[in-house]
């Protein structure tokens, strides 16, 4: 799989840098050619001499190295590679990538390339959870940057535990191999996939609306993963702050009625993934002006049901997709409710998760899902929403290939 593949490994400054030595060894065992860039901070943890001894190549550290820059070495380094891998990718490196900084050799190489990039984040749990890091990761995901990890566990700092550990070398290796497998034989090439994402906003008056806490991160990640797997993707997105995925046609809507209209207009498709958290109800007659407080207290809102998008498409007589996937966001009896929903809606699969506030899943970057089908239930391990998306897309590709649809 990796024979003669050219990997440019960017090692940034974190204690996890020592794991990169094992990653290099494993890449070399599989026939890959590895060059490495060390940031100044990385050299506090591993030395160019050590990295060079394992790669068998010169190690690059300085943007202004005259012997390398006589032929614009930073451009050549990034463009001669088949894949750029940043492991570990610190909070600092991620921030610089998200904002287009190019103030050292590593960031310049990352900015000067159109080669695919895979990052393995590694940092303190509080840094990983910080809103700035969350924004930066959302930007990178939308830019098409692939991610592996981080994992949960003990940190180098005493008594620190949580999400932020760099993925293990074998996990990163698996992600690299999966990248080349998809690039060489896109499993969804020639397929058309529709994805819905985010919440819907159902107006009460021109100022207020009924909504939910969906961020759209999982749905957008699925759309991006399907596009990366070679599909033509249409994403119907409710109001979200997540950037549009690159290479995906995005239709922005507000309400459930707008969403179902957009979905129906974009049929037929090979598979439809309904990840949006559509509001079940709307106000029957939304006020044309802002509702004012009155002496009679709170106004009575008459609610009516919204269209059931998942059931409508799953039971469509002429344009039903070959594969219809729904989502079930539950707070109790997750699998039991998902099984009931599978039967009630008439879809093929349900991706169920527990969105109780304590899980941090709704609006967060990780997810723990159960894939419920007519054949049973698969309990998937906790992973980033990008990894869940790639796993789901791989299953969709296998299903469509098996049905030759």
Query: Using one digit for the tens of pLDDT, what is the confidence trace for 265-298?
Result: 999 999 999 999 999 999 999 999 998 887 677 8
Does residue 172 register a pLDDT over 70? yes
**35 neighbors 77 (Cβ within 8 angstroms):** yes
β-strand 6-11 against 33-38: which pairing, if any? parallel
In CATH, the architecture of 6-184 is: 3-Layer(aba) Sandwich (3.40)
Question: How far, in Å, are 263, 278, 280, 312, 329 from residue 308 at the CA level?
Answer: 12, 9, 8, 6, 15
Reading phi first (left if > 0) and then psi (alpha if -120 to 50, else beta), residue 281 is in beta
Which pLDDT score, from 0 to 100, does residue 74 have?
62
Which pLDDT score, from 0 to 100, does residue 360 have?
79
- Percentage of the residues of the chain whose pLDDT score is greater than 70: 95
6-184 and 192-403 have identical folds: yes
CA–CA dist 233, 223 (Å, integer):
7
Per-residue pLDDT of 4-26, as tens digits, reads 899 999 999 888 999 999 999 99
Residue 67 pLDDT class (50, 70, 90 cuts): low
Average predicted confidence (pLDDT) for the chain? 89
Mean pLDDT within 183-204: 92
Angle formed at CA 148 by CA 145 and CA 151, multiple of 5 degrees: 140
Q: Which of 124, 136, 212, 367 is catalytic?
A: 212
Taking the mean position of all CA atoms in its chain, how far away is CA 244? 12
Q: Find the helix or strand (DSSP H, E) in which 338 lies.
A: helix 334-345
CA–CA dist 67, 71 (Å, integer):
9
Query: What is the token pair recorded at 83?
Result: 């894949």
Does residue 185 register a pLDDT over 80? no
CA–CA dist 55, 73 (Å, integer):
18
Does residue 405 register a pLDDT over 50? no
Which pLDDT score, from 0 to 100, does residue 181 have?
81
In this structure, the number of other CB atoms found within 10 A of the CB of residue 129 comes to 16
Which pLDDT score, from 0 to 100, does residue 282 have?
95
Taking the mean position of all CA atoms in its chain, how far away is CA 242? 11
Q: What class has domain 192-403?
A: alpha beta
Does residue 392 register a pLDDT over 90? yes
Q: Out of 59-68, 205-214, 282-291, which region has the weakest mean confidence (pLDDT)?
A: 59-68
In this structure, the number of other CB atoms found within 10 A of the CB of residue 158 comes to 6
Give the DSSP letter of residue 190: T
Residue 219 pLDDT class (50, 70, 90 cuts): very high
How many residues does the structure list for the chain? 405
Residue 142 pLDDT class (50, 70, 90 cuts): confident
Residue 154 pLDDT class (50, 70, 90 cuts): confident
Mean pLDDT within 231-242: 95
Does residue 209 register a pLDDT over 90? yes
Which pLDDT score, from 0 to 100, does residue 404 have?
47
CA–CA dist 404, 54 (Å, integer):
45
Query: What is the token pair recorded at 355?
Result: 């969105």
The residue behind tokens 């957009």 is: 262
In this structure, the number of other CB atoms found within 10 A of the CB of residue 343 comes to 10
Q: Find the helix or strand (DSSP H, E) in which 221 lies.
A: helix 217-228
List the one residue out of 275, 345, 273 whose CA is nearest residue 307.
345
Domain edges within the chain? 6-184, 192-403
pTM higher than the cut 0.75: no
CA–CA dist 218, 388 (Å, integer):
8
- Percentage of the residues of the chain whose pLDDT score is greater than 90: 63
Mean pLDDT within 42-59: 92
Does residue 329 register a pLDDT over 90? no
Is 124 assigned a catalytic role? Answer: no
């Amino acid at each position: 799989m990796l024979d003669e593949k050219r990997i440019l490994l960017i090692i940034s400054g974190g204690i996890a840098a020592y794991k990169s030595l094992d990653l290099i060894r494993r890449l070399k065992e599989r026939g890959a050619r590895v060059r490495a860039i060390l940031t100044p901070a990385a050299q506090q943890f591993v030395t160019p001499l050590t990295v060079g001894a394992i790669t068998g190549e010169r190690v690059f550290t300085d943007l202004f190295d005259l012997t390398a820059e006589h032929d614009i070495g930073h451009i050549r380094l990034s463009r001669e590679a088949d894949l750029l891998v940043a492991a570990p990718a610190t909070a600092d490196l991620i921030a610089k990538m998200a904002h287009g900084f190019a103030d050292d050799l590593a960031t310049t190489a990352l900015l000067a390339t159109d080669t695919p990039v895979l990052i393995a984040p590694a940092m303190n749990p509080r840094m990983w959870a910080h809103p700035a890091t969350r924004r930066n990761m959302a930007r990178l995901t939308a830019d098409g940057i692939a991610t592996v990890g981080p994992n949960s566990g003990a940190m180098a700092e005493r008594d620190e535990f949580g999400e932020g550990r760099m993925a293990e070398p074998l996990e990163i290796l698996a992600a690299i191999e999966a990248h080349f497998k998809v690039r060489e034989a896109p499993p969804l090439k020639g397929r058309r996939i529709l994805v819905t994402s985010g919440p819907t906003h159902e107006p009460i008056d021109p100022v207020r609306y009924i909504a939910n806490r969906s961020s759209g991160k999982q749905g957008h990640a699925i759309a991006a993963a399907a596009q990366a797997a070679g599909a033509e993707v249409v994403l119907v997105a409710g109001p979200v702050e997540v950037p549009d995925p690159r290479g995906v046609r995005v239709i922005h809507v507000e309400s459930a009625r707008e969403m179902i209209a957009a979905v129906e207009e974009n049929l037929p498709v090979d598979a439809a993934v309904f990840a949006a958290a559509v509001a079940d109800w709307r106000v029957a007659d939304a006020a044309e002006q802002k509702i004012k407080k009155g002496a009679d207290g709170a106004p009575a809102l008459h609610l009516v049901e919204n269209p059931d998008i998942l059931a409508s498409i799953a039971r469509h007589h002429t344009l039903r997709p070959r594969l219809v996937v729904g989502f079930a966001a539950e707070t109790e009896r997750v699998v039991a409710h998902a099984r009931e929903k599978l039967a009630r809606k008439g879809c093929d699969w349900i991706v169920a998760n527990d969105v109780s506030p304590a899980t941090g899943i709704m609006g967060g970057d990780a997810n723990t899902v159960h894939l419920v089908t007519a054949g049973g239930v698969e309990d998937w391990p906790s992973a980033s929403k990008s990894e869940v998306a790639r796993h789901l897309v791989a299953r969709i590709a296998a299903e469509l290939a098996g049905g030759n649809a």
